Structures are given as C-alpha cells and as structure tokens.
Structure 1
Amino acid sequence: MESGRVLDRRYKLESPLGRGAQGSVWLGLDLVLNRPVAVKVATLHRHPGQGEHSEELNRRVERFRKEAQAMARVQNRPHVAVIHDHGEDGDILYSVMEYIEGRPLSAHTGQGRRARLTGESGDSRGAAALCQRLGQDCARLLGPDHHRVFEACREASRWKEGTG
C-alpha cells in the first residue's frame, strides 16, 4: 500500500498509523467532506489458479464486513472511533472511521509487551473486574454471534503464536 492511493475516488491514504492482524490503518482524507479519517485496509491476495473467490477469500471478506458492522453498533463511547463507511475497491477492503488523535496503545505498553494489569500493590482483582466488564460489553454489542467472534480471536491468537 502506498501513500497517495485513493479508494473509491473518495478516501486518500496519507500516512500509515499502525498495523494489525487483518491489515493496516492509515491516516486518510475524506475528499468529499475534506476531513481527516482513519482508514483500515486489508489486501485480498488472489492467487493464480485458485479462482477469484476462494473459500478462504470469502471468509476474510465476511470477517472484515462483520467487524465493520460490530463497530457500527458501538455508539457514544469515549475513546471509540465511530465508523463512517465500509467497502471494497479492487483488491482492497476498507473501513473508514473517525480519526481520533492520540498515542497508540503500544506507546503505553511497549511494542510486543503485554500491558500490566495489576495495581501498585500487585492486586489483580481490579484488572479482572475490568476485563469481565469489557467482555460483557463486547458480547452485548456483538449480539447473538458474539461466541463466533471470540472463537475467531482465539484461533487467530493460536495461529499467531504458532500453536494452531
């Protein structure tokens, strides 16, 4: 992906902000409304001989779409970006979100390190309660299919760790 690319004649990718499991996030410009946006992009790798829409490719497209729909259900939450648009431009899937200026989580935890979830006394009960509330919020927002999302996260984490 290169700076200056325009998706669907509307969203100009300006500079990369970060990278995740499904793709990368860019600072972009909404050319119609002239406002900064965050654009999450994932490239669809179509391999010669597999046909344009392999089963795995269809799964990736569906996962990306469901993630965008789940994000769209989150409203009026501090520190959560609002999703504006979602689409496909050639071999690029994209989701356009409100751009929230700030520091990435990795700036607080250190790249590749886990966040410390214990208090100053080493007590982890507060962290456990926080994780439980976050899980309940996610389940409520994702609706009846929340177990599929958590299963996908578990599988992705196994794959990332090399155990899957």
Structure 2
Amino acid sequence: MEPGRVLDGRYRLDVALGSGAQGSVWRGHDLRLNCPVAVKVATLHNHPGRGETSEELNRRVARFRKEAQAMARIRNRPHVAVIYDHGEDGDLLFSVMEYIEGSPLSDHTGHGRQVTLEQTVRWTRHICDGLADAHDVGVVHRDVKPGNVVIDGDGAAKVIDFGLARFADSSSSHGPGWGTLHYASPERLREESGSALSDLYSLGCVVYEMLTGWTPFGHLSDPYTVLWHHVNERPAPPSALRPGVPRPLDALVLKLLEKAPGDRPAGARAVDRAIQQIEYVPDNAADPHVDIRHVAEIRDLERFIQRYADGPRATDTDVLDARARHARLTGESGDPRGAAALCQRLGQDCARLLGADHRRVFEAYREASRWKEGVG
C-alpha cells in the first residue's frame, strides 16, 4: 500500500508507522477535520494458509466492528487511545484512532534496559487505567506489550491498538492467536479465548521488563521453550535480577504472573489500588519503597530533558543541571540504582561532549558513586 491513499474519502495515509502479519499502522490525516490521526489497516482477504471460510471471515469482521463501537464509547480518558471511526474501503478494513505524539515503551525498556522505579509505578498505573476503561466496556486487548504502550510528551503512558487485537484472533482453529509470545498468558498459549485476566498476565510481563530489562523468560530464545515456561514455570522475582525492588512490588508482579487466571488480581483497578499502596511509605521506612512526592517535578524534568538533551543545547548549563537534578530526585524517590545509572550516563555524555577533564564529568561520577554506596 502506498502513502497518499485516502480511505472512505476522508482519511489520508501519510507515513507507515509499523506493520505485522495482521495489518499495518499509519500516521494519517483526517481531511474533514484537518487533524492528524492513527489509522490501523487490515485486509479482508483470507490469511495465507489458514483456509478461512467466508463465514469465519464474516465473524471476524462483525466482531471487529462490535469492539470498535465499544471502544468508541470511551471518551476523554487520559490513558487509552480512543477509536474515532471504523469502516471498510475496498478490500481494507480500518479503524481510526487518536494520534499520540510520543515514543513506544519499547524504546525505553527491554534488551537489558530498565526504567526507574518511579517510572515503573507511574506507567503501570496509567496502563491499568487504560485497560480498566476497556474492560469496563467488554473489550479485552489480548496483545498488551511495550510496543502497544506510548509514552507521550508529558511522560504519561497510553495503551493503544485495541482495535485489531481481538480481530486478529480469529475463532478459527487454523493458526495460533497468542498475541506476542513473550507477553502471552498461559491460557492464551493453550489457545483458550482468554479474558481481562489474560491482559493482567501480559501486564505482569511488561512490568517485569520495566523493572529488570527482560521479560520473565526473556533469557530463552527458543519459542517452544518460552511457551513451555509460560505455561509451567514460575519466574524468578524481579528483585533477583534487580536488587532494591520494593517487596510489595515484587509480590504484585508475581501475583500478576500466576498461571491460573483466578489466582491473579481481580482486575486492572485492583492492580491500580495495589500500586497506590506501594507508591508512598513514610520517610522512616527501612525497606525499599517508591516515594511519589517528587513525581510532578520528575515529569517536568523528563519533558525538558527529552526536548533538549539530544540536540544542539545538550551542553547548556540548564540542560545539564536538569539531568543532574532528575538523577538526584530519582534517588530520593527510592531508587538509588536508577539514580546511579542516570549519573553514570550523564558522566559519559559530558566526557564525550565536554572532554574527560571537565568538572561536570567528575561531579556526575561522584554522584553515581554516592548513589551506588547507598544501595548497600
């Protein structure tokens, strides 16, 4: 499909953002309202090798329409990308969603990359809010993963790609409808239909990755071995890979990753309530905790750093000061390891941009050492 195609006489496809076996996602433009949109497109043809009948195809299309209509009832919610429209154009089925300016969570984590504890609890709460809004109208995502969560310019997380998730999961027995293997629940891997509790298992995999840099069984490369472990093996707690994870957060992640759906939390809002209890512990708490009193300033600093740290202003005093304060507040919020990593990165960037003998390099590495000592 080429850029410039206009669907239903209204939605112009401008730039392909990604594609998969089930369709593609485009940044588009609503010609009627003159605003950017995200357009998800799938063909109405049978999937190769599936032998899907016309009756099965009709069921998939009807289910997609029903769920698009359900998602369209969610309005003015901050953590879910809502559907504005859906329809057909020739051999294409499409849904139109709000376009979110930002980057996928997969750009921040995975392959050993961790995010701070404060970011983990903040974004987990946002994802829970988005999932709960969808579950309230009877829509199960079925493919919760970092690539389907966007971090916007305000540092907030939004869940995307509801429109095609269930549509891609035909009731036909031809081919698996797991979602994405490293985030798939045991029941989905057994090719059961799954439920909102299946989304919670996938959420557990996402939180595990934010904390450790890896999915629960991300050290395994063989797909069938990964599948077997999801169905049969309990993963190591996140704290085994990242010391300093608060014990309640450790326990919540393992609860989300229970094999039996009934052993998981009762719903996304229950997970949100559990996260709220983790977010604040009094100053005299001996155990690791996450203190959210700095969250507003941390988010402001994130926005400022994201705007300027990789551009021509990277060595400006206010940008370097913002990065140093961001690291310090990260440590004060209960994450000394995260603070040390941010200081280490600041020191490396200063050495590269300003020279190894610059005082900023010394200051950043000194702070990194201080926070490392605080880990114990």
Task: State the TM-score, normalized to the length of structure 2.
Answer: 0.32
What is the 5 A alignment of 1:10-159? 10-19=10-19, 22-46=22-46, 54-110=54-110, 136-142=132-138, 156-157=177-178
> Once the two structures are superposed, what CA deviation does each residue of 1:121-148 show, in whole Å capped at 9, x if it has no partner?
xxxxx79x95877665443222xxx58x
Higher helix share: 2
Q: Distance in 2 between matches of 1:118 and 1:63?
A: 39
> Once the two structures are superposed, what CA deviation does each residue of 1:89-110 show, in whole Å capped at 9, x if it has no partner?
1110111112111112321234
Q: Distance in 2 between matches of 1:82 and 1:133?
A: 13
Match for 2:87: what amino acid? G
The answer as to 2:2 corresponding to 1:6 is no
Task: State the TM-score, normalized to the length of structure 1.
Answer: 0.66
Determine helix, strand or coil for the equivalent of 1:45.
Answer: coil
Q: Distance in 2 between matches of 1:21 and 1:119?
A: 34
- Unmatched 5+ stretches in structure 1: 48-52, 121-125
Larger Rg: 2
Pairwise CA distance, 1:158: 7.2
Q: Distance in 1 between matches of 2:102 and 2:180?
A: 30
Pairwise CA distance, 1:17: 1.6
Q: Distance in 1 between matches of 2:112 and 2:19?
A: 17
> Once the two structures are superposed, what CA deviation does each residue of 1:8-44 show, in whole Å capped at 9, x if it has no partner?
1111101112335642211011112221111111111
- The structure whose RCO (Cα within 8 Å, separation 6+) is larger is 1
Determine helix, strand or coil for the equivalent of 1:157.
Answer: coil
Determine helix, strand or coil for the equivalent of 2:79.
Answer: coil
Match for 2:103: what amino acid? R
* 1:123 equivalent in structure 2: none
Count residues in correspondence: 146
- Unmatched 5+ stretches in structure 2: 48-52, 143-165, 170-175, 192-376
Pairwise CA distance, 1:81: 2.2
Pairwise CA distance, 1:70: 2.5
Give me the CA root mean square deviation.
3.7
Determine helix, strand or coil for the equivalent of 2:84.
Answer: strand
Match for 1:6: what amino acid? V
Pairwise CA distance, 1:118: 10
Higher strand share: 1
